[in-house]
Amino acid sequence: MTQDTVHIGGRRSKLAVVQSEKVKEMIQDAFEQYSCKLTKTQTLGDQIQFKPLYSFGGKALWTKELEDLLYAPDMNLRLDVVVHSLKDMPTILPDGFELGGITKRVDPSDCLVMALNSIYKSLDDLPPGSVVGTSSVRRSAQLKRKYPNLIFESVRGNIHTRLDKVDDPESRYTCIILATAGLIRMNLDYRITQRFDSKIMYHAVGQGALGLEIRKGDLRMHRILEEICDLETTVCCLAERSLMRTLEGGCSVPIGVETQFNINTKTLTFKAIVINVEGTEWVEDSERRILVDFEKDAIECGMILANRMIENGAKKILDNINLNKIK
Give me the domains of the chain, ranges plus CATH numbers.
1-103+209-229 (3.40.190.10), 110-195 (3.40.190.10), 230-320 (3.30.160.40)
Strands 210-215, 81-85: parallel, antiparallel or unpaired by DSSP? antiparallel
Q: What is the mean pLDDT of residues 235-263?
A: 90
In DSSP terms, which residues pair with 38 in a beta bridge? Answer: 8
Cα–Cα dist 304/162, whole Å = 38
Across the strands, what pairs with 102?
A: 211
Whether pLDDT at 118 is above 80: yes
User: What is the per-residue pLDDT for 325?
Assistant: 60
Average pLDDT over the chain, rounded to whole?
Answer: 91
Per residue in 272-305, pLDDT tens?
Answer: 999 999 999 999 999 999 999 999 999 999 999 9
Q: Select the more confidently predicted residue: 273 or 253.
A: 273
- Helical residues (DSSP H) of the chain, grouped into ranges: 14-30, 44-47, 64-70, 137-146, 159-167, 180-185, 219-226, 231-247, 294-311, 314-326
Contacts of 5 (CB under 8 A, 6+ apart): 34, 35, 36, 37
Name the residue among 24, 30, 86, 34 with its Cα closest to residue 227.
30
Strand pairing of 175-179 and 110-114? antiparallel
Q: Are 265 and 149 in contact (CB under 8 A)?
A: no
What is the reported pLDDT for 313?
Answer: 96
Q: Which residue has the higher pLDDT, 322 or 176?
A: 176
Name the residue among 120, 133, 74, 71 with its Cα closest to residue 96. Answer: 71
pLDDT of 251 reads 52
Answer whether residue 116 shows pLDDT above 90.
yes
pLDDT band at 109 (very low <50, low <70, confident <90, very high): very high
Q: Is 157 helix (H, G, I), strand (E, B) or coil?
A: coil
**SS3 label, residue 282:** strand
What residues are annotated to the active site?
87-88, 138-139, 156, 162, 251
Q: Are residues 56 and 183 in contact, defined by beta-carbon separation less than 8 angstroms?
A: no
- pLDDT at 321 > cutoff 80: yes
